[in-house]
Copies of this chain bind each other. A is one copy, B any other.
Amino acid sequence: MEKQFVARGVIPPMVTPLDPDRRLDAAGLSRLVEHILSGGVHGLFLLGTTGEATDLDYDLRRDLVRRVCDQVAGRVPVLVGVTDTVFDESVRMADWARACGAAAVVAAPPYYFAAGQPELLAYYRRLADALPLPLFLYNMPSQVKVSIAVPTVVALARHPGIIGLKDSSGNIGYFNACRYALQDDPAFSILMGPEEAMGEAVLMGAAGGVAGGANMFPRLFVDLYEAAVAHDVDTVVALQRRVMRISSLIYGIGHHNSSFVKGVKCALSLMGVCGDMLAAPREPFNASDREMVRQRLCELGVLR
């Protein structure tokens, strides 16, 4: 496998629209895909943390991948999350993704037993060997309890099947250390997870960002990316401020680990894109939290 697929740009981690019975909301999904693509994004990432992948039924995950790949029909590359504690389930999902036409898969470390670095090294090599698609590493220590250490990333980058790193740690020292260590490898893409740092990351040379807010505002993030690539600092600063405003208004409502996903889904629902149901056992925002999101979308000029 040559590393021909190079991920760049804005690759939104798509939420998974669910109907009130927690089945796939096919109509909402279809609207969401077009809504996102209309913003000019450079790819689509299914079944990440924002997509609530680990909490979805396998049948639903497969249905989602098939539908989105069919609908996207090659307009942008589709990346599919295959993070799992069961090794063979990751492989099965990757086989499915390939059959559906996805371009690459993404895997965070197994998340029950926290692996040591030698175990992570062995795990990712073994996984990349078994996969039919190129693999993105996904660093997500807050959920999986372990960070893929910089030397581990560097060693894995040499594997022909491993093509990049999505870092959602928010740890800027870690992110920049990975970028520095791999700066001479144009085939290895490093993507910034938190949208709150996407502008500066791309300005400094990162390949792009996996911005959850691009579910709602895809064009904003594409504009931000393009300004950063063009080294137009003033525009980057201005657009990043808009991103921070969205972040401060929408993502902090509610409590607990999943308030980001709840906020994005609630906003999409108020914008008429798709419903706000979450994977079991989580519940959508209650009426008062929902009303707060509504008011803040008005403040942002998105609703009236």
A99 on the interface (CB 8 Å rule)? no
Q: Which of A72-104 contact B (CB under 8 A)?
A: 85-89
Give A88 to B60 CA distance when docked, in angstroms. 12
Main secondary structure of the interface of A (DSSP, over half): helix
Interface digits, A161-205 against B, CB 8 Å rule (1 contact, 0 not)?
Answer: 000000000111111110011010000000000101101110111
**A176 (CB) vs chain B CBs: closest residue:** B196
Please pick, from B55, B183, B237, B255, the residue contacting A204 in the complex, using a CB distance under 8 A: B237
**Cross-chain contact B282 with A55 (CB below 8 angstroms):** no
Query: How distant is the Cα of A197 from the Cα of B205 in the complex, in angstroms?
Result: 13
- A interface size (C-beta, 8 A): 68
Task: Determine whether A119 belongs to the interface, using a CB cutoff of 8 Å to chain B.
Answer: yes
Bound Cα distance from A119 to B255, whole angstroms: 10
Q: Known contacts A231-B234, A256-B119; decide if A180 and B241 are in contact (CB<8 Å).
A: yes
CB distance from A260 to the nearest CB of B (A): 10
Of the candidates B122, B194, B282, the one whose C-beta lies within 8 Å of that of A119 is B282
Does A116 count as interface, using CB distance less than 8 angstroms?
yes
Tell me, rounded to whole Å, the shortest Cβ–Cβ distance linking A130 to chain B. Answer: 10
Q: Please give the distance in Å from A83's CB to the nearest CB on chain B.
A: 8
Beta-carbon contact of B194 and A55 below 8 Å: no
Residues of B contacting A171 with CB < 8 Å?
170-172
Interface assignment of A257: CB less than 8 Å from any CB of chain B = yes
Nearest-CB residue, chain B, relative to A89: B57
Asked if A248 is at the interface (CB within 8 A of a chain B CB), the reply is yes
